């Protein structure tokens, strides 16, 4: 077995995992499929392109990344407060369509500001590489895996031990009961949206260790969405195996079968998994509900 | 036997309640023919017939595209508006229809009048396959599997397009002929206009009829509450699959028509954005409403072009032309948001409210919501 395939799959899985996390967190607390997330990711990538010049020092890079994280969280808050909260009580389908509309608004902004521009984010440490198991491993190949692991572990700890995390779990379990116990549901919802959007910013940095920032990010983010579904939309524990499964399937297909089919692989995996386990690998079975 | 209440005086002749039905024939009528209603229909027919003489070639072409889109939007309306199943892959059905029609011509030399129905069949087959997960999956997850359909069909289409290009040469020789319908050929934009308008009229009638049939009512029941529908004896999975098949059939027809209208197909045109545009059509028009699907299609197709014209008229091309795409997207997104926030019933809801106001004129009773009616 070629070690580079495993590495490729792990890299892809780390990106998909973080992308999927953004969808899962929003879905758990507000039961809304956040289709605006690709727009957030795209916009974050384009801003990173603009504000991190080619000869940026590492300090400048990290500062910009932090600012973008904060901006991402703010964008998430704004989306929630301006577009989603007024839709409370409307049918789910209307809420999903609202996030779609938000996606197009974000795309319009990116179109107005960058007009289909694409490029690479200059990463610090892009020259560092080692020889490992007979393959040349760059620092940028390992970093996304580590970052993704830290993010997932951090969120798991946050959910388990912090007060807000517990409240979020309570809201995910049963919003009505949580509200009765004095949990501010709107605050929790806003927090979830902010975290999700910030995760979108993290994800864009992870993808750009591997490739360029371009309009294709929208498609990549949607593939993260399939990962969220494969794992189970409201489940954090199903997420890691789902990301590994989808990424492995995609890498193997691209490597051994056909490059062009790679785009469709996550969706095929999704179909197969959902046919066997309709609620994803570890999602909770929901009450019958109309979309 | 109790005689029906007699309304006396002016009220009987002039302001009879439109909801007072005194026999079953009126209750069952597809179109309750009242004077004003006939007048509205007559004016609409006249306007539609006279439109080619009032508009220039450009706007005639725009309406042609809108009418093709209306057929596709009616298909989406069946599955998303009536049956309540989110479909994010409608463009895939259009792609199937378009490529099927093109393939039939390129491989077998079959004309549009065979390819059209064949494309509908192909669309219906793919639609039924797309609906198959309904046997196990419900709710949101089902909607997302349609996203999978979108990507899988596009991947297959890409392969097929590559094959066509290697065996028939590149775009130039891949073009379709001027459609020959036996009795007449669709040479000019005006021929197309009348053909499309009549065809859309037939589709509208068919969907209207579908909506009041047993199947249509089970679609609405599934949308309102699956569990209740199931308890009433509706086979939920079968109804959903049928809805997807019907949606695929109309999508396939629209795809075949647009393939012949543009005299060619390209898989790049059937991306996710197109699926979402179709969703926007039925939101802007009004979810579940047949009139809404048509109005929404016209609105979504014509608005970007109107914006372009407006910019040209205002003489702002120099400043704004490079941002045209962004402006189109923004207008698109903002209208979608506006309708979702302020007019959830869409254009059809506006029309309904207007109609209620006129029929009820001296009174201000508007409690009968459009929500309940559709």
Q: Does B286 touch chain A (CB under 8 A)?
A: no
Q: How close is the nearest chain B Cα to the Cα of A1, in Å?
A: 28
Q: Identify the domain containing residue B358 by its residue range.
A: 55-373
- CB-hemisphere CA count at 13 Å for B255? 37
Q: Residue B329 and residue A104: Cβ atoms within 8 Å? A: yes
Q: How close is the nearest chain B Cα to the Cα of A102, in Å?
A: 7
What CATH number does the domain containing B60 carry? 1.10.3470
Q: In the prediction, which pLDDT does B69 show? A: 95
Q: Residue B139 and residue A289: Cβ atoms within 8 Å? A: yes
At B74, list the tokens: 């009616």
ipTM over 0.85: no
Helix (H) or strand (E) holding B32: none
CA distance B296 to A56: 49
Within-domain flag for B247: yes
Q: How close is the nearest chain B Cα to the Cα of A198, in Å?
A: 23
Within-domain flag for B233: yes
CA distance A138 to A132: 10
Quick: pLDDT tens for A71-115: 999 999 999 998 888 887 777 778 888 888 898 899 888 888 887
Which one of B84, B91, B130, B138 would you mutate to disrupt binding with A, by most A Cβ within 10 Å of its Cβ? B138
Within-domain flag for B30: no
Q: How many domains would you assign to chain B?
A: 1
Q: How close is the nearest chain A Cα to the Cα of B301, in Å?
A: 16
Q: Does B199 touch chain A (CB under 8 A)?
A: no
Q: Residue A291 and residue B344: Cβ atoms within 8 Å? A: no
Q: How close is the nearest chain A Cα to the Cα of B86, in Å?
A: 7
Which residue ranges of chain B lie beneath pLDDT 70?
A: 1-19, 30-33, 139, 169-174, 182, 317-321, 361-374
Q: At what angle do helices B139-168 and A265-276 cross, to 10 degrees?
A: 140
Q: Identify the domain containing residue A112 by its residue range.
A: 9-218
Q: Does A264 touch chain B (CB under 8 A)?
A: yes
CA distance B94 to B297: 15
Q: Residue A112 and residue B326: Cβ atoms within 8 Å? A: yes
Quick: pLDDT tens for A220-254: 888 888 888 888 877 788 888 888 888 888 888 88
Residue B280: closest CA among B90, B16, B23, B13: B90
Confidence of residue A136 (pLDDT cuts 50, 70, 90): confident
Q: In the prediction, which pLDDT does A286 show? A: 63
Quick: pLDDT tens for B58-83: 889 899 999 999 999 999 999 998 99
Within-domain flag for B211: yes
Q: Residue B326 and residue A111: Cβ atoms within 8 Å? A: yes
Residue of A nearest to B345 (CA): A94
Within-domain flag for A244: no
Bridge partners (DSSP) listed for residue A213: A119
Instruction: For residue B354, count other CB atoms closer than 10 A to its CB.
Output: 10
Within-domain flag for A233: no
Within-domain flag for A172: yes
Q: How many domains would you assign to chain A?
A: 1
Query: How many degrees, rounded to 5, is the angle at CA A95 between CA A26 and CA B228?
Result: 105
Within-domain flag for B110: yes
Q: In the prediction, which pLDDT does B14 show? A: 56
Q: At what angle do helices A265-276 and A217-231 cross, to 10 degrees?
A: 20
Helix (H) or strand (E) holding A135: strand A135-138
Helix (H) or strand (E) holding A62: helix A58-78
Q: At what angle do helices A37-51 and A3-30 cross, to 10 degrees?
A: 120
Q: Does B231 touch chain A (CB under 8 A)?
A: no
Q: In the prediction, which pLDDT does B10 show? A: 47
DSSP string of B163-225? HHHHHH-SGGGGPPPPPB-SS-B--SHHHHHHHHHHHHHHHHHHHHHHHHSHHHHHHHHHHH-
Q: Residue B84 and residue A98: Cβ atoms within 8 Å? A: no
Could you tell me which residues come within 8 angstroms of residue B215 by beta carbon, excluding any fewer than 6 positions away?
B239, B242
Instruction: Label each residue of B249-305 as H, E or C.
Output: HHHHHHHHHHHHHHCCCCHHHHCHHHHHHHHHHHHHHCCCCHHHHHHHHHHHHHHHH
Q: How close is the nearest chain A Cα to the Cα of B240, in Å?
A: 12
Contact list, A97 vs chain B (CB under 8 Å):
279, 283, 336, 340
CA distance B178 to B267: 21
Torsion, Cα A138 A144 A150 A151, to 10 degrees, reads: 170
Within-domain flag for A283: no
Within-domain flag for A276: no
Within-domain flag for B44: no
Residue whose tokens read 């089919």: A261
Residue of A nearest to B324 (CA): A112
Q: Which of residues 68-87 of A touch B (CB under 8 A)?
A: 83, 86-87
Q: Is the pLDDT of residue A2 over 80?
A: no
Within-domain flag for A290: no
């Amino acid at each position: 077995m070629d070690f580079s395939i495993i590495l490729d799959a792990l890299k892809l899985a780390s990106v998909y995992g973080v992308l999927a996390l953004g969808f899962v967190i929003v879905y758990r607390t507000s039961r809304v499929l956040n289709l605006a997330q690709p727009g957030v990711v795209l916009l974050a990538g384009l801003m990173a392109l603009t504000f991190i010049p080619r000869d940026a020092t590492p300090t400048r890079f990290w500062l910009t990344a932090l600012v973008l994280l904060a901006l991402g969280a703010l964008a998430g808050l704004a989306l929630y407060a301006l577009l989603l909260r007024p839709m409370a009580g409307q049918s789910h389908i209307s809420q999903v369509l609202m996030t779609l509309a938000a996606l197009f608004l974000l795309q319009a902004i990116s179109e107005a500001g960058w007009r289909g521009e694409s490029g690479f984010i200059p990463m610090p440490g892009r020259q560092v590489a080692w020889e490992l198991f007979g393959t040349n491993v760059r620092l940028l190949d390992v970093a996304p895996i580590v970052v993704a692991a830290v993010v997932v572990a951090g969120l798991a700890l946050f959910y388990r031990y912090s007060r807000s995390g517990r409240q979020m779990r309570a809201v995910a379990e049963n919003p009505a009961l949580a509200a009765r116990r004095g949990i501010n549901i709107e605050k929790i919802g806003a927090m979830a949206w902010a975290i999700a959007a910030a995760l979108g910013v993290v994800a864009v940095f992870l993808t750009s260790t591997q490739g360029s920032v371009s309009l294709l990010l929208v498609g990549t983010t949607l593939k993260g969405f399939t990962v969220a579904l494969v794992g189970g939309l409201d489940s954090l524990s199903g997420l890691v195996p789902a990301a590994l499964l989808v990424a492995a399937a995609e890498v193997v297909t691209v490597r051994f079968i056909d490059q062009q089919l790679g785009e469709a692989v996550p969706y095929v995996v999704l179909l197969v998994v959902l046919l066997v386990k309709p609620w994803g690998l570890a999602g909770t079975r929901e009450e019958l509900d109309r979309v | 036997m109790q005689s029906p209440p007699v309304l006396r005086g002016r009220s009987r002749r002039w302001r009879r309640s439109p909801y007072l039905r005194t026999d079953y024939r009126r209750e069952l009528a597809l179109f309750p023919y009242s004077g004003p209603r006939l007048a509205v229909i007559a004016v609409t027919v006249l306007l539609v017939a006279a439109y080619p003489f009032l508009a220039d070639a450009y706007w005639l072409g725009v309406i042609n595209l809108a009418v093709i889109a209306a057929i596709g939007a009616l298909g989406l309306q069946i599955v998303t508006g009536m049956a309540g199943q989110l479909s994010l892959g409608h463009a895939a059905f259009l792609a199937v229809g378009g490529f099927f029609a093109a393939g039939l011509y390129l491989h077998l030399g079959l004309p549009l009048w065979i390819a059209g129905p064949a494309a509908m069949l192909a669309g219906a087959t793919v639609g039924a396959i797309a609906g198959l997960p309904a046997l196990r999956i419900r709710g949101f997850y089902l909607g997302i599997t349609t996203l999978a359909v979108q990507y899988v069909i596009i991947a297959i289409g890409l392969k097929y397009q590559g094959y066509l290009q290697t065996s028939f040469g590149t775009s130039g020789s891949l073009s379709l002929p001027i459609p020959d319908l036996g009795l007449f050929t669709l040479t000019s934009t005006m021929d197309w206009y009348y053909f499309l308008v009549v065809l859309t009229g037939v589709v509208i009638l068919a969907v209207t009829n579908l909506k009041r049939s047993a199947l249509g009512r089970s679609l609405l029941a599934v949308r309102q509450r699956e569990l209740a529908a199931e308890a009433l004896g509706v086979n939920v999975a079968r109804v959903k699959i049928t809805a997807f098949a019907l949606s695929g059939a109309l999508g396939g027809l629209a795809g075949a028509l647009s393939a012949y209208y543009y005299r060619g197909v390209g898989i790049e045109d059937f991306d996710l954005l197109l699926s979402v545009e179709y969703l926007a059509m039925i939101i802007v028009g009004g979810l579940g409403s047949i009139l809404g699907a048509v109005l929404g299609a016209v609105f979504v197709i014509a608005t970007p072009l109107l914006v372009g014209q407006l910019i040209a008229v205002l003489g702002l091309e120099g400043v704004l032309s490079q941002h045209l795409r962004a402006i189109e997207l923004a207008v698109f997104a903002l209208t979608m948001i506006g309708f979702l926030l302020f007019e959830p019933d869409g254009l059809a809801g506006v029309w309904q409210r207007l109609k209620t106001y006129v029929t009820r004129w001296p009174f201000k009773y508007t409690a009968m919501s459009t929500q309940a009616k559709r």
